Amino acid sequence: MENTKINYIPGSMSFAEGFFGARGDVGFNMVADWGKAKAIITDLLTQGKNIDNVQMGLDGDWDCNSMTIWEAGVFDEYNCWHSSQWAEPIMIVNYKDKPSETYSVWYRQEKQKQIKP
């Protein structure tokens, strides 16, 4: 799969650190893509992967904005914060028999330009 990371541990930082930290505002919104996440999980299950559970959330704001979206054969639609200008939406697949894999699960949404009066 594209850009997977093995045994990745997501980070957390304050709201201000996100905007003013090393990454800062990337210039667009990264919107969590529930459909892409579900499609990846379905594909992995079809391949016979031995998944324990799957978590989805914002890397950089993981402590406050992440949740389990698949466990024991049941999907639970992602309902945390959906977009960020600095925290990337990711999904972590935890396996029963091998290291976890992390996937980027977002699409780009341009920011709306503010119209000055």
Q: Which residues contact 53 (CB under 8 A, 6 or more apart)?
A: 68, 70, 71, 72, 94
Q: Whole-prediction pTM value?
A: 0.81
Residue 67: how many CB atoms within 10 A of its CB?
Answer: 13
Cα-based angle 66, 109, 35 (whole degrees, multiple of 5)? 50
d(CA 62, CA 9) in angstroms, rounded, equals: 10
Q: Strands 66-71, 74-75: parallel, antiparallel or unpaired by DSSP? A: antiparallel
Q: Please answer whether residues 32 and 106 qualify as being in contact, where contact means their C-beta atoms are separated by less than 8 angstroms.
A: yes
Q: What is the pLDDT along the chain (117 residues), one digit of tens a residue?
A: 456 788 888 865 555 555 555 455 678 999 999 999 999 999 999 999 999 999 999 998 898 899 999 999 999 999 999 999 889 999 999 999 999 999 999 999 987 765 566
pLDDT value for 80:
94
pLDDT value for 22:
47
d(CA 18, CA 60) in angstroms, rounded, equals: 7
List phi, psi (to 5°) of 57: 180, -170
Q: Is the dihedral of CA 37, 38, 43, 48 positive or negative?
A: positive
